[in-house]
């Protein structure tokens, strides 16, 4: 899964990377510890917008129901996103990208690190990551419209599988336009966009401090590599 991530780029740098032509009037602060239900940037075609991380089920009838559904829908599995009631409508017509500097995973028992060791994953060339996502809007009983988003994940591959069993779905740049195109609504066509060779290309990772475990912490020190003892392995 992807449960925390970092975005330290200025909105002008995001706009340049994703070739957008509009952005929110108010920018979000840089954050090295973005958490579920936080407001985050999403890319919709040539626009930068803001959404709340965690999909709110469209059938939610109260703020409490919305909050409960959102907390359980921060990620959507690529294998079933087209079938799940919370996600399937958005998958057909409301697809987006989420910019990130990097993301965190906590090592599982299947990997080479001690269980629960925080790991930071980013591009080797320091360029922004682009998570695939889906979004939709929900209107509260008081009339407030909330746009929410989920990050799509897939089975981890390569060295990333030694950290955690899941990873976000990343698309090459030449598939971005089709991914965000709402006129492409054939499910099998959309699913095929996520089928790419070497989904872990250009990614690297290193262990980081457990300070990222705190929901209140944020700062560049969270992504700084740390030295560990001899890695533990089950292999």
**39-77: pLDDT as tens digits:** 999 999 889 999 999 999 999 999 999 999 999 999 999
Q: What span, in angstroms and rounded, lies between the C-alpha atoms of 81 and 154?
A: 10
The answer to whether residue 115 scores a pLDDT higher than 70 is yes
| Residues 55/87, Cβ–Cβ less than 8 Å | yes
Q: Distance between CA atoms of 78 and 194, rounded to whole angstroms?
A: 8
| Phi, psi at 37, each rounded to 5° | 75, -5
Global pTM? Answer: 0.93
Beta strands in 16-100 (DSSP E): 31-34, 39-44, 47-53, 75-77, 95-100
Higher-confidence position of 14 and 235: 14
Domains of the chain in sequence order: 4-106+128-201 (3.90.1680.10)
Reported as a pLDDT band with limits 50, 70 and 90, residue 229 is low
Cβ atoms 113, 197 nearer than 8 A: no
Q: What is the pLDDT of residue 231?
A: 46
- What length does the chain have? 235
How many percent of the chain have pLDDT more than 90? Answer: 84
Predicted confidence (pLDDT) at residue 184 exceeds the cutoff of 80:
yes
Check residues 183 and 1 and name the one with the higher pLDDT.
183
Backbone phi, then psi, for 115, in 5-degree steps? -55, 135
Residue 130 phi/psi, 5° resolution? -130, 100
pLDDT at 162: 86
Tell me, what's the pLDDT at 105?
95
pLDDT value at 232 more than 60: no
DSSP string covering 113-160? SPTT-EEEEEETT-PPEEEEEEEEEEE-TTS-EEEEEEEEEEE--GGG
């Amino acid at each position: 899964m992807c449960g925390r991530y970092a975005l330290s780029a200025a909105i002008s740098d995001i706009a340049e990377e994703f070739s957008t032509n509009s952005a929110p009037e108010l920018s979000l602060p840089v954050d090295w510890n973005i958490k579920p239900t936080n407001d985050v940037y999403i890319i919709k075609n040539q626009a930068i917008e803001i959404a709340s991380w965690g999909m709110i089920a469209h059938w939610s009838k109260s703020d409490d129901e919305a909050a409960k559904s959102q907390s359980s829908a921060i990620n959507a599995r690529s294998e079933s996103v087209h079938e799940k009631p919370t996600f399937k409508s958005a998958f057909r017509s409301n697809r987006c990208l989420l910019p990130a500097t990097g993301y965190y995973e906590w090592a599982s028992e299947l990997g080479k690190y001690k269980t629960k060791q925080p790991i930071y994953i980013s591009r080797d060339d320091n360029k922004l990551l682009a998570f695939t996502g889906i979004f939709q809007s929900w209107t509260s009983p008081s009339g407030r419209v909330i746009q929410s988003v989920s990050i799509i994940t897939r089975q981890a591959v390569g060295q990333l599988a030694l950290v955690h069993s899941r990873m976000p779905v990343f698309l090459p740049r030449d598939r971005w336009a089709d991914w965000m195109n709402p006129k492409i609504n054939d499910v099998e066509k959309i699913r095929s966009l996520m089928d790419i060779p070497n989904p872990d290309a250009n990614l690297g990772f290193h262990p980081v401090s457990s300070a990222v475990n705190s929901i209140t912490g944020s700062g560049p020190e969270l992504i700084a590599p740390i030295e560990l003892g001899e890695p533990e392995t089950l292999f």
